[in-house]
Amino acid sequence: MSTSPLVVENLSFKYRTRPELAIEDISFELKQGELLLIAGSSGCGKTTLARCINGLIPRSYRGARKGRVLLNGREVADLKIAEMAQEVGTLLQDPERQIVASNVFNEIAFGPENLGLPREEIVARVERAMRRLNIEYLRERETFNLSGGEKQKAALAGVLTMNPSILLLDEPLASLDPASAHEALAVFRSLADEGKTIILVEHRVEDALAAKPDRLLYMEDGRIQYLGPIRDLPPEIDYTQVKLPAQWVVKRVRAEKKPAEPPTSPKVKKERGEPLVVFEDVDFRYGDEYPLILQNVNLTIYRGDLIAVLGPNGAGKSTLVKHAIGLLKPTRGRVLVGGQDTRKMSVAQIARSLGYVFQSPTHMLYASTVQEELEFGPRNLGFKADDIAASVKESIATVNLKGFEEYPPLGLSFGQQKRTTIAAVLAMRSKILVMDEPTAGQDFANYTRFMEALCKSSNGSQSILSANFESTVFITHDLDLAVTYANRVLLFGDKHIVAEGKPEDVLKDIDVLLKYRVRPTSLLHLNLELLPQTGGFLPAESLAGFAL
């Protein structure tokens, strides 16, 4: 019997509720100290494979499984849950599903406490994990008040305290600012160098390459299409499905020798219209005993704006936009929506003008089916039945959820849940769309599809949805989203807006970006290099038409 930490042999699985195989004939072996990157589009089988490795299949998800999964020589199905927890440590996509304690120290200590370890050992493990992730400052914080990225770090620390031999990391970068993501990848690499076996499931392939994966496993339609080293872009990988370095994409596009098309940007070229939302000298704190989160914020959102909000974890980006929808009221100053002070408006009144997609989909989803979830908002806004049907149909098509109308939203994958929340807000046809981390859990193909539907007219004519939105604001740690889709960038830090303007102006100051934990990407560098030729930022495929 093999002594490798993980052996997968001829593994296939079909969920009880679905007719098709989720994964088919998967075989590979991982050595101690190896870091494997698993990539592929949504629905390709990555999550199912992960569930087979960490024992959720067959324990929590029922279906027909064939083949074997061996952890240090023992079949997963034969291990007890307590044994599994010490063999495989899993970091989930959505930290909301993993946080159980009320403060950070107790959260990180939860796992070793359940193993019955001595208090001294528990404290030592917690301190070690916090130091490793540079989160000592979060020690006494309430988990409820953490940002999404801070929750992700706390959840990862909790996994590390269990000291598993295999770490299974499912989209660990999704909620992290670029600098935190880079630091986390360095931690993963160092853990592998120390002998841990690391499985990194990640859509952001370019970012994940910083961890220097030993091999890449690329999946399509439940099967392995490529398994091997990552020295260049393997021909088996579809660059339209996963996010890759810009130079790789340019090289592939040129090699395909497609007919030359005029380079285009998805950004809609609109003249700045009237003000829609105005922040005037806004300060905010959660209470007198808490420090300021926002200080002297002045901002005007105009019709025609496609705004990307960038900045570090915990900077207050989500707090900022929650003022626009009336969930929070300023401690000082005022916020105007459509010329009215939000203090005098209900959240329901504001919702007619501004739709908000939360960072965590579990904060929004409640209905028994996707269809009902999408119908709820427009029905409460008084839409006619025909308009509701049209909005729901187009929203589902925009986020690629056709066929999932009767599925329970909370039974979907994290990425599908996120798209459901986006569709629910699209169906309400608000004038202003605000999305908090819209690409979290999304593969490149899916988020490109819905971002282009919102930000670009199709064949010269806009859809019902994109024609309705007068402005779109997206908070994101994905810098390339700002490069490709924004016509205005806000860099948020030190409790206020530290830089604001056109992407070409704000994003050229690399020193300022790094100060506020925004790491330049290959697409940004290539766009800055070609800016004299292009006159504006473009996606990688369009850059292939220019001389480097």
pLDDT for 429-482, tens place per residue?
888 999 998 988 788 888 888 888 877 644 444 555 556 678 999 999 999 999
pLDDT for 29-68, tens place per residue?
999 999 999 999 877 889 899 999 999 998 888 899 999 9
Please report which confidence band the pLDDT of residue 360 belongs to, taking 50, 70 and 90 as the band edges.
confident
Residue 328 has pLDDT above 70, yes or no: yes
DSSP annotation of 175 reads: T
Residue 233 has pLDDT above 60, yes or no: yes
Q: Counting Cβ atoms within 10 Å, is residue 360 exposed (0-12), middle (13-18) or buried (19+)?
A: buried
Share of the chain above pLDDT 90, in %: 64
Pick the CATH number of 275-519 from 3.30.750.24, 3.40.50.10070, 3.40.50.300, 3.10.180.10: 3.40.50.300
* Both tokens assigned to 409: 């939203």
pTM: 0.86
Position 350 scores a pLDDT of 92
Average the pLDDT over each of 93-97, 160-164, 246-250 and give the range with the smallest value: 93-97
Mean pLDDT of the chain: 89
Residue 2 has pLDDT above 70, yes or no: no
What is the rounded average pLDDT of the residues 104-118?
93
Q: How far is CA 507 from CA 42, 310, 499, 501, 503, in A?
A: 30, 10, 9, 9, 6
State the DSSP string of 235-276: TTS-TTTSB--HHHHHHHHHHHTPPP-----SS------SEE
Contacts (Cβ under 8 Å, ≥6 apart) of 495: 292, 293, 294, 295, 296, 297, 315, 316
Position 156 scores a pLDDT of 92
Position 192 scores a pLDDT of 96
Which of the listed ranges 84-98, 163-177, 249-263 does the model predict with the highest average pLDDT?
A: 163-177
Nearest to 478 by CA among 510, 437, 522, 517: 437
State the DSSP string of 33-93: T-EEEEEE-TTSSHHHHHHHHHTHHHHTS-EEEEEEEEETTEEGGGS-HHHHHHHEEEE-S
Nearest to 507 by CA among 526, 528, 487, 538: 528
What is the rounded average pLDDT of the residues 372-389?
94
Position 458 scores a pLDDT of 41
Residue 520 has pLDDT above 90, yes or no: yes
Average the pLDDT over each of 83-87, 131-135, 292-296, 344-348 and give the range with the smallest value: 83-87
pLDDT, greater one: 10 or 287: 10
How are strands ordered across the β-sheet holding 6-15? Answer: 23-30, 6-15, 63-71, 74-75
Please report which confidence band the pLDDT of residue 1 belongs to, taking 50, 70 and 90 as the band edges.
very low
Please report which confidence band the pLDDT of residue 547 belongs to, taking 50, 70 and 90 as the band edges.
confident
- How far apart CA 412 and CA 121 sit, in angstroms, is 38
Nearest to 72 by CA among 167, 3, 166: 3
Q: Counting Cβ atoms within 10 Å, is residue 545 exposed (0-12), middle (13-18) or buried (19+)?
A: middle
pLDDT for 467-507, tens place per residue?
667 899 999 999 999 999 999 999 999 999 999 999 999 99
- How far apart CA 411 and CA 138 sit, in angstroms, is 32
CATH superfamily ID and name for 6-244? P-loop containing nucleotide triphosphate hydrolases (3.40.50.300)
Fold match between domain 6-244 and domain 275-519: yes
- How far apart CA 466 and CA 547 sit, in angstroms, is 33
Q: Which residue has the tokens 């949805």?
A: 465
Cis peptide before 58 (omega within 30 of 0): yes
- How far apart CA 406 and CA 388 sit, in angstroms, is 16
Position 204 scores a pLDDT of 84
Position 489 scores a pLDDT of 97
Q: Counting Cβ atoms within 10 Å, is residue 15 exposed (0-12), middle (13-18) or buried (19+)?
A: middle
Q: How far is CA 365 from CA 20, 409, 423, 451, in A?
A: 27, 7, 11, 21
Domain boundaries, the chain: 6-244, 275-519
Q: In angstroms, what is the C-alpha Rg of the chain?
A: 23
Position 69 scores a pLDDT of 96
Residue 269 has pLDDT above 60, yes or no: no
What is the rounded average pLDDT of the residues 76-82?
88
